[in-house]
Amino acid sequence: MRTRIKCGWLVGHANGHHTLWRNAELVYEGNSVLFVGERFEGQVDREIDASGKFVAPGFIDTHVHSGHRASHRLISDIGRGDYFGQPFLEISVPREGTRVGGDVRYVRPDDNAATDELTLNARFTIAELLRNGITTFVEFGSQLRVQQALLEVVGELGIRAYLGPGFDSGRWVGGEGGKLVRVLNEASGDREFDLAIEFIERYQGEHADRVRGILVPREIETCTVALMTKAAEAAQERNLPVAIHAAYNIHEVYDIIREHQMTSIELLQKIGLMSDKLNVGHGNFTCDNPLVNYSDSHDLDIMGSHRCSISHCPVNVARRGRFLDNWESYRKAGVNVALGTDTYPRDMILQMRNASYFGKVASGNLKSATAAQVFEAATLGGAHSVGRDDIGRLAPGAKADIIIIGLTGNDTLRMGPVRDPIKSLIDCGIGDDVETVIVDGIVRMENGNIPGIDFAELRRQAQAAGERVWSRWQEWDPNGRTADEMSPYSFPKQN
Ligand SMILES: [Zn+2]
């Protein structure tokens, strides 16, 4: 079936770059784009009227930790100084001998009571992504059962996904007095690696090829060199993309230097993981960062020469008092900057705005991190990170992953007069402006509605799940605090 979209504005693609069309047409047939231009002369079976609206390639979110992220709600404006702002140390490092409670991402493999919660986790994640115009996402290393639940909902709601259970050879725990300790469990890493390979072999190409596999050694400092070497070999053998947290955490940066006498980026290169299909999350503490005070760093050069990607999550990073230093030097070095939402909200337009503003400030240059560059990062950058040239763009032959964005600010004055829709979107847009989402040629959201998803019901379930997470905080908090002790309300709560 052929569908024509009549577009007020349209982002096309030619010679490796996005282009802009005014009052133009996009035609797709089956799951592929057939035509981008002023007027299509052939026959069509169906028409979508997006005149006055903005038609663009769907966004690619390269850093998703699934779930409703209730635990992250406790760490706005607070945190332990000795964690240097690293959020996962605050919300997922349990007191030794305990397990993070309430959050289904840490559920025991044999806990069958968690099935409903796993489904909620997956439905909330994918519905939120689609609502914000994200048509492809990369899950960053949740365990097998989380991936299985996501796989099912990917089938049901129709998004495109890179899935694969994460693996590591140990983890951080809270030792005596809350002291940060890294524990090693090589056997568990090997087991998880085998599960990851098995999962990917089984589900690669599932749901009409909307599911692809990705290898995720979770964090460079919690994986042994042997495990990461296995991952590098498997990635090469099977031509798989890889995602890993590295150069992202002050503890990791200095631990790796001390343990390996090289930087995290140098270690990734030595192991054979550094490539154009490597997604480094978040890569903001390379040793080129002046805050690290490392002499003669070549990290950005190494990353650039391999054309590897960073999944830059500007909102989450900024909430922790940090930023990418800096956008311009990464781009100049040839690093592919892709964007991710990481925590909440999963609003790629908000991410682009923050990437742009922080990029300008950190680069000391108003011409840095332009609207065009951050839009590229959210589309072409994401596609490059997983080695694809058929998504993140609208050109004949590319996948029909298309979003339609309203330019009226949901009938308010927020957008003001629109001259350049990319600049208007970055400066004034929000995720809710996305009205229609098409993935693989199928309409998956229309006028803000996702068939099979009741937002009110999902909100209610997520709120209840959040209350459970918060109420169980003391069970595992390394400092034995309740949620209210750890995270006081903004103003004294009176009842
Ligand atoms: Zn992450």
* Per-residue pLDDT reduced to its tens digit, 292-310: 999 999 999 999 999 999 9
Q: State in Å: Cα 280 to ligand 1 middle.
A: 10
Q: State in Å: Cα 243 to ligand 1 middle.
A: 10
Looking at residue 102, its pLDDT comes to: 72
Residue whose structure tokens are 């996005």 = 18
Q: State in Å: Cα 104 to ligand 1 middle.
A: 17
The two structure tokens encoding residue 127: 């519905």
Domains 2-58+395-445 and 59-385 share a fold: no
pLDDT band at 108 (very low <50, low <70, confident <90, very high): confident
Q: State in Å: Cα 63 to ligand 1 middle.
A: 6
Q: 3-class secondary structure for 304-364? A: HHHCCEEEECHHHHHHCCCCCCCHHHHHHHCCEEEECCECCCCCHHHHHHHHHHHHHHHHC
> Domains of the chain: which residue ranges?
2-58+395-445, 59-385
Q: How far apart are the first and last CA of the chain?
A: 59
Q: State in Å: Cα 87 to ligand 1 middle.
A: 9
pLDDT band at 111 (very low <50, low <70, confident <90, very high): confident
Report percent pLDDT > 90 for the chain: 96
Looking at residue 381, its pLDDT comes to: 98
Q: State in Å: Cα 120 to ligand 1 middle.
A: 20
Q: State in Å: Cα 5 to ligand 1 middle.
A: 36
Q: State in Å: Cα 339 to ligand 1 middle.
A: 12
The whole-angstrom separation of Cα 310 and Cα 247 is: 10
Q: Is the pTM of this model over 0.85?
A: yes
Angle at 202 between CA 200 and CA 206, to 5 degrees: 90
Q: State in Å: Cα 472 to ligand 1 middle.
A: 23
Q: State in Å: Cα 166 to ligand 1 middle.
A: 11
DSSP class of residue 10 equals: E
Q: State in Å: Cα 415 to ligand 1 middle.
A: 32
Select 2-58+395-445's CATH number: 2.30.40.10, 2.170.120.12, 3.40.50.1000, 3.40.50.300.
Answer: 2.30.40.10
Q: State in Å: Cα 140 to ligand 1 middle.
A: 6
Give pLDDT tens digits for 414-448.
999 999 999 999 999 999 999 999 999 999 999 99
Does the domain at residues 59-385 carry the CATH identifier 3.20.20.140? yes
Give pLDDT tens digits for 366-420.
999 999 999 999 999 999 999 999 999 999 999 999 999 999 999 999 999 999 9
